Amino acid sequence: MDKIQHRVYTVSLIVTAIFIVLFLRLVYLQVFEYSKLGSISDANSLRRVWIQPPRGRMIDRNGIVVVDNQPLYSVKVVPAEFTDSLKQSSLADLLDITFEELTLRIQKGFRYNPFAPVAVGRDIEPREMMRLGENLWKLPGVMIEVENKRKYPLNLAASHVFGYLNFISKRQLEEMAKKGYTPDDKTGSKGLEKQYEDYLRGEKGVRFELVNSIGKTAGKFENGERDLPSVKGYDLHLTLDAGLQKLAEHLLEETGKSGAVVAIDPRDGGILAMASMPDYDLEILNGKTDGKKWQEIVLDPRKPLFNRAIQASYPPGSVYKPLLAVAALEEGAITPEKKLLCTGVFRLGRGRFLCHRGQGHGLVNLERSIIESCNSYYYNLIFDLGFEKWTKYGRMFGFGKTTGVDLPGERSSPLPSVAYYDKRYGKGKWTKGYLVSLAIGQGELNTTPLQLAAFTATIANKGTWHQPHLVRGYRPNDSDSLKTFAFEKNKLPVSERTFETMRQAMHGVVDRGTGRLAAVKNVKVAGKTGTAQNPHGEDHAWFVAFAPLENPVIALAVLVENAGYGGSVSAPVAGKLINYYLNGPDSTTAAILTAREEQPDSSITEPEADDL
C-alpha cells in the first residue's frame, strides 16, 4: 500500500511540474512575445515572391552600351487570394482592360500555381500607376512589382541582331521549368537575346512575405533574413561597331530597296555590322507589345522579320568568279598570264551564251577578267577546271553549309555537285550546259550575304577562314576580366601567291574597273561587282570588298534586291562604309550618326518594394 501511495505521489509531482512549465511558457508568450506573435497570429499564409533580375547588357567593341535596362512596373495578383468578382472588376477598370481579359490572365496563373503571383498588367503607364496607388488600400492581394525592360540608347535598329523578349510558351516551359522559369517569365525569342539567353538572364531573387486572411501583406518573414537578392545577368561584349551598324542601316534604307550588309573583321571573323532591310522597331515588342503594330509587322509583304543577311539565299552572280579563278590557279588549269579570247559569244553545242550583250573583250588574262567581269573567260574556265574541283573549292570556302554564326535561324542552300544533279535530275539527264551558268554564279548556286562576306574576308587575309560571330565574350559579375568565346578557324590549303594574285585583281576592280564608285581617298580598296539575274524581277546588285589592301581590317558584302548593277548601286554603299570605318565620319555621315545618339546614364535605379 505504501508503494502505491508513493507512485501516486510521484506521478502527481510530475504532472504538476509539467503544468507549471506550460503555464510559465504561456505567460512568456503572452507577455514578452506579444508584439511579435500578434502579427504572426493574424497571418494565415507565407507568400513567396520572385524578384526578376536585370538582364545583362550588350556593349559594342568600343565600349558603348547598345542594349540596356530600364524599370518596368507590373501589377500582380495571387489567384487563390483574388477571387472576389467586385475586386476583379475594380482592378480591370483601373488597368483599363476588360473584365474577361483580366479573368483569363488570373485563370492562366491559377492553372499553373494558384498561390504564385501572376502578372495581370505590365509596363504600366504613369497615369495608371497613380490611379492604382490611390486605390491599392482596398485591393488586398494586389502587388506592384519592379521588373525590367530593354532600353536602346543609340536609336540603333539592329532588330535582327539584338532580337527581342517574349513570354515563355507552354512548350518552352515544359523544357525550361527545371531552370527556374515560370509562366510569367520572358525569354529571348530572336537574335542574340535568344542565342545567349543563359548568359543574359541572370538569377531570380526571392522575397518572403507574411499575408493575412484577406490577402494583405502583414510584414516580412523573419525580417527578410531568408530573402535572396536577384543576380544580374552577364554583360555581353560584342564585335559590333555601333557607328558602322547605324550607317549601314541608313545607307540601305536610303536605297529604297530590300537588302543586306554584312561587314567582318578579316583578322578574327568578328562581325562589325549586320543590317537587313526592311527591319522593325524593337520598341513595339519591348515591355508591353503593341498588338496592332505587331500585326502590321507580321502581315507586311516585305517580310521585315526575315533576316536577309543569314536567311535569304541569292544567286551571287559575278562576285563568285574569284572562287573559280582561285580554284583554277591552284589546280594549274590557268596561269595569271594566260589569255583567252572573248568574242562576245560562247558556244556550247547549239547553245549561245553572251558576254555583256554580245560585246567581246578580245584577249583577256585573269586580272582583266576580274576587273572587267568578262563572262566568256569563266565559261571556258569551268570546263578547263572541271565540275568536281569547282565543287571542292566551294566547300573549302564554306559554301553549301551554314557558317555557324552565333545567331539562331541561319540557313544555307545546297552547293551544286555531280551527286546533287544526279539526285535531282537523274544520271545522264543533265548536261554540261548547267555548268555555264554556274561559272558566272548563276543557275542553281545560291549563297547568303554572310557567306560571301566570310569568303571575301578569307581572300583578304590570304587564306584563313574564320567562323563569323557577333559576341567576343562575357564579363562575370564578380570579375573584371572578360571571358572570351572560342570560334572555329581554318587555314585553307591554298598558296599565298594565288591569294595575292586575286587580291591585286580585285584592287583593279575599284581602281580602274567596274567598282570605281567604291573608291576611298588615300585607301587601296579591293572589290568585285556582281549583277545577279532574278527570275522574279529586276536583277540583284552585289558588291564585295575589303580594305586597306596592304593590311585589311574590314571585309564586307552588300546586297540590294531588284536594284540593277552592283557597280552603280551597291559599290557606293560599300565605299561609304569603308571610308567611315577607316577614316571616321565625314560631314555627311556625322549628321546621320549624331541624330538622337546621346547616351544617357546606363544605370537604373530600382525603387524598393516598400516605396510603391
Helix, strand or coil for residue 501? helix
Whose cell is 512596373? That residue is 73
pLDDT (tens digit, 9 = 90+) per residue, 300-313? 899 999 999 999 99
Render pLDDT for 261-274 as a digit per residue (tens, 0 to 9): 999 999 999 999 99
Tell me, yes or no, whether 156 and 228 share the same domain: yes
3-state SS string over 370-438? HHCCCHHHHHHHHHHHCHHHHHHHHHHCCCCCCCCCCCCCCCCCCCCCHHHHHHHHCCCCCCCHHHHHH
Do 493 and 369 have their domain in common?
Answer: yes
Cell of 488: 572555329
- Report the alpha-carbon angle 28-30-34, nearest 5: 105
- CATH number at 223 reads 3.90.1310.10
Burial annotation 455-494 (CB, 10 A radius, 16+ → b, else e): bbbbbbbbbbbbbbbbbbbbbeeeeeeeeeeebeeeebeb
Q: Encode 74-126 in three state secondary structure.
A: EEEECHHHCCCHHHHHHHHHHHCCCHHHHHHHHHHHHHHCCCCCEEEECCCCH
- For residues 579 and 529, membership in a common domain is answered with yes
94, containing H or E segment:
helix 85-95
State the amino acid at position 577 in one-letter form: L
Asked if 16 and 132 sit in the same domain, the reply is: no
Residue 246 to residue 226: CA distance in whole angstroms: 47
In this structure, the number of other CB atoms found within 10 A of the CB of residue 62 comes to 10
Per-residue confidence (pLDDT) for residue 532, from 0 to 100: 85
Task: State residue 93's pLDDT score.
Answer: 76
- Shared domain check, 362 and 471: yes
219: pLDDT confidence band, cut at 50, 70 and 90? low
Task: Please confirm whether the linkage preceding 449 is cis (ω < 30° from 0).
Answer: no
Q: Looking at residues 457-465, what average pLDDT do you find? A: 97
Is 345 within a domain? yes
> Does residue 417 belong to any structural domain of this protein?
yes
Instruction: Give the largest CA-CA distance in the chain.
Output: 139
Are 24 and 57 found together in one domain? no
Pairing status of strand 58-59 against strand 235-238? parallel
Distance from the Cα of residue 66 to its chain's centroid: 13
Are the C-beta atoms of 316 and 441 separated by less than 8 Å? yes
Is 408 a domain residue?
Answer: yes
Distance separating alpha carbons of residues 37 and 14, to the nearest angstrom: 30
pLDDT tens-digit series, residues 504-538? 999 999 999 999 999 999 999 999 999 888 777 78
Q: What is the pLDDT of residue 413?
A: 93
**Among residues of the chain, what percentage have pLDDT more than 90?**
51
**Number of residues assigned to the chain:** 612
Does the residue 287 lie in any domain? yes
The predicted pLDDT at position 40 comes to 46
Whether 214 contacts 224, CB under 8 Å: no
Distance from C-alpha of 60 to C-alpha of 83, rounded to nearest angstrom: 48
Looking at the predicted structure, is the pLDDT value of residue 598 above 60?
A: no
Instruction: For residues 112 and 550, give the distance between their C-alpha atoms in angstroms, rounded to a whole number.
Output: 62
* 589 & 493 share domain: yes
Cell output for 351: 547553245
- Specify whether 322 is located in the same domain as 200: no
Q: Answer whether residue 501 shows pLDDT above 50.
A: yes
Alpha-carbon gap, residue 260 to 448, rounded angstroms: 9
CA dist 120 and 81 (Å) reads 14
At residue 482, φ and ψ (nearest 5 deg) are: -90, 130
- What span, in angstroms and rounded, lies between the C-alpha atoms of 217 and 43? 9
Q: Are residues 459 and 543 in the same domain?
A: yes
- Residue carrying the nine cell digits 552592283: 566
Residue 275 lies in a domain: yes
The C-alpha cell 546588285 sits at 541
Model-level pTM? 0.83
Strand partners, 4: none
Question: Is the predicted pLDDT of residue 71 greater than 50, yes or no?
Answer: yes
Query: Is the residue at 24 inside a domain?
Result: yes
pLDDT band at 247 (very low <50, low <70, confident <90, very high): very high
Q: What angle do CA 112, 117, 120 make, to 5 degrees?
A: 95
Please give the Cα distance from 58 to 612 (Å, whole number). Answer: 29
In a domain, residue 607? The reply is no
Write out the residue range of the structural domain in which residue 22 sits: 2-32
Residue 192's CB is within 10 A of a number of other CB atoms, namely 25
Q: What is the pLDDT of residue 12?
A: 72
Give percent of the chain above pLDDT 70. 85
Domain end: 210, 238, 266, which one? 238
Domain co-membership, 519 together with 379: yes
Question: Over the chain, what is the mean pLDDT?
Answer: 85
Written as one letter, the residue type at 276 is S
Q: What is the DSSP string of 446-490?
A: -B-HHHHHHHHHHHHTTSEEE--BSEEEEE-TT-SS-EEPP--EE
Q: Are 583 and 562 in contact (CB under 8 A)?
A: no
pLDDT band at residue 611, thresholds of 50, 70 and 90? Answer: very low
What is the CA 521 to chain-centroid distance, rounded? 34
φ, ψ for residue 358 (rounded to 5)?
85, 5
pLDDT at 395 over 80: yes
**Does the pLDDT value for residue 499 go beyond 50?**
yes
315 lies in the same domain as 374: yes
Count the domains in the chain.
3
Residue 446: per-residue pLDDT: 96
* Least confident among 147-151, 416-420, 549-553: 147-151
Rounded to an integer, the average pLDDT of 250-271 is 96
pLDDT of amino acid 440: 94
Q: What is the pLDDT of residues 72-94, one digit of tens each?
A: 777 877 777 677 777 777 777 77
- The predicted pLDDT at position 183 comes to 75
320 with 408, same domain?
Answer: yes
CB contact set of 160 (below 8 Å; sequence gap of 6+)? 190, 191, 274, 275, 276, 279, 307, 309, 407
Asked if residue 327 is part of any domain, the answer here is yes
Strands 540-547 and 554-560: antiparallel
Q: Which three cell numbers stand for residue 417?
A: 555537285
Confidence bin at 605 (pLDDT 50/70/90): very low
- Predicted pLDDT at 239: 98
CATH number at residue 523: 3.40.710.10
More confident residue, 122 or 279: 279
